[in-house]
Amino acid sequence: MLNLVLFGPPGAGKGTHSVKLIEKYNLKHISTGDIFRYEINNKTELGIKANGFIAQGLLVPDEVVLEMLFNEMDKYNDVKGFVFDGFPRTIVQAEKFDEMLQFRKMPVSLVISLEVNEEELIKRLIKRGIETGRTDDTEEVIRKRFEVYNKQTKPLLEYYRKQKILHSVYGIGGIQTIFENICKEIESEINKK
């Protein structure tokens, strides 16, 4: 089973490359952002709760995210693996996630970290907000998300580096070139096993 975590700050291209990866490797895409947007748009109890945090640029509490993630994974028993986009976001989430995956005998195979500088990301996200109408893509909320990312999520780089499953990919340039570089990292990991 191939389980990939796509890692990077908001706007790094995780969603874009997830779509391409699921097609190439026949995986199931699990995006906490997509699931939350679905819940928010449908005004479910989880969506209302999550929206209160997301609108402020804050992370949704771990217990809510983990419950949602486990429920989503349980829907797909016959897949070749998963691409996790936007999860985990904290060390605590990563530890609980690892425990769950070890219990299921399906650990994280590798983590791809998309490396993009903050000013480039701000431009991308503001443009995305204008094009898609996403109300959480304003400069004030974006800067708050980077602050939260740098404090709570960026430490995961060292967490996964210690496990020797972290692979960094330069995330500026043409989408196809970046995707090919991601695939090279995946293939090198697959060939080791």
Measure CA of the first residue to CA of the last residue in the chain; give whole Å. Answer: 11
What element of type H or E holds 170?
A: strand 166-170
Catalytic residue among 80, 104, 127, 134: 134
The angle that helices 32-41 and 45-54 make with each other, rounded to 10 degrees, is: 120
What angle (nearest 5°) sits at the alpha carbon of residue 76, between those of residues 71 and 81?
A: 110
Would you say 113 and 166 are in contact if contact means Cβ atoms under 8 Å apart? yes
Peptide bond before 88: cis, by omega within 30 degrees of 0?
yes
Residue 14 a catalytic site member = yes
Residue 128 a catalytic site member = yes
Catalytic residue among 14, 20, 96, 124: 14
Catalytic residue among 20, 89, 96, 124: 89
Residue 124 a catalytic site member = no
Residue 161 a catalytic site member = no
Catalytic residue among 128, 143, 154, 161: 128
Catalytic residue among 20, 96, 124, 145: 145
Question: What residues act catalytically?
Answer: 14, 89, 128, 134, 145
